[in-house]
Amino acid sequence: MIRFDSTLVTMTISGTMPSSATLFTLQNHCSFTVWAGSLSGNGAALGEGGFVLAPGSSAQFQAPPGWSGRFWGRTGCTFDNSGSGKCITGDCGGVMKCTGGGAPPVTLVEFTIAGGGSSDKDFYDVSLVDGYNVALGVKANGGSGDCQYAGCVSDLNSNCPAELQVIDSGSVVACKSACAAFNTPEFCCTGDHATPQTCSPTQYSALFKNACPTAYSYAYDDASSTRTCSGSDYLITFCPTES
């Protein structure tokens, strides 16, 4: 069943969702509409792959044990009644209900929920490896363990170097990763730079990291970016005001 009102969208599947399901709440604190996208690594994408969040609105979805996937925000979208259209940032193939990932540059929140293997922990992170388009944060609620906040509260578009900027109608709407901008092994962690020992932070990943210390800034930024928690629900906020 899907219930809609002015501030909340709640999705439950009567009789099929285990009591240990993880509850995701997504909320939009931005001054503009965000068209959220979702992609699952196993099973159905939550929210059918995409849904709209007006300023101040929220949506809730339940995921079964072992679920893995990601969420991101799309901006500047226009869709027709059939769900076809496009987004200025984060577009997923010109459709409202995504069946693939968001086009970089895009801020991502990624999850692997316990129950699909030997680990009893959830793993989660906010990633800028594919660049940045909108501020995003995730907070664990009611779990045990480390359960630390992850996110990027800063507006990186306002401080994006000229060589990484994506501009639409005279405004910076997204900030590319150095890999996307330059496509070289040292920025993409490929070829001779494909290991943690040979792919080091760069001036660009350092800029991202300084602005957003709890987010992934490049491919091997695991130690200060991956979060773990057990038995938690998660609050995901677009344009968070604080961590």
Distance between CA atoms of 213 and 42, rounded to whole angstroms?
29
pLDDT of 6 > 50? The answer is: no
Per-residue confidence (pLDDT) for residue 45, from 0 to 100: 86
**Domain-by-domain residue ranges, the chain?**
2-155+213-238
Average pLDDT over residues 37-62: 93
DSSP state of 89: B
pLDDT at 113: 94
222 versus 93: the higher-pLDDT residue is 93
Decide if pLDDT at 3 tops 70: no
Predicted structure pTM score: 0.89
Q: Rounded to an integer, what distance in angstroms lies between the CA atom of residue 131 and that of residue 208?
A: 9
Tokens encoding 99: 């069946």
> What local confidence, expressed as pLDDT, does residue 161 receive?
96
pLDDT class of 117 with cuts at 50, 70, 90: low
Measured between alpha carbons, how far is 141 from 81 in angstroms, rounded to an integer? 36
Q: Which CATH number fits domain 2-155+213-238: 3.30.2320.80, 3.40.50.150, 2.60.110.10, 3.40.50.300?
A: 2.60.110.10
Distance CA 14, CA 1 (A): 7
Exposure string for 138-153, b = 16+ CB within 10 A, e = fewer? bbbeebeeebebbbbb
pLDDT greater at residue 9 or residue 210: 210
Q: What is the enclosing helix (H) or strand (E) of 142?
A: none
Is the Cβ–Cβ distance between 68 and 42 less than 8 Å? yes
Helix ranges (DSSP H) in the chain: 178-182, 185-188, 203-211
For a pLDDT cut of 90, what percent of the chain falls above it? 80
Residue range 135-151: mean pLDDT, rounded: 94
Confidence band for 12, pLDDT divided at 50, 70 and 90: very low
Indicate if the pLDDT at residue 160 is higher than 60. Answer: yes
**Residues 83-98: what's their mean pLDDT?**
97
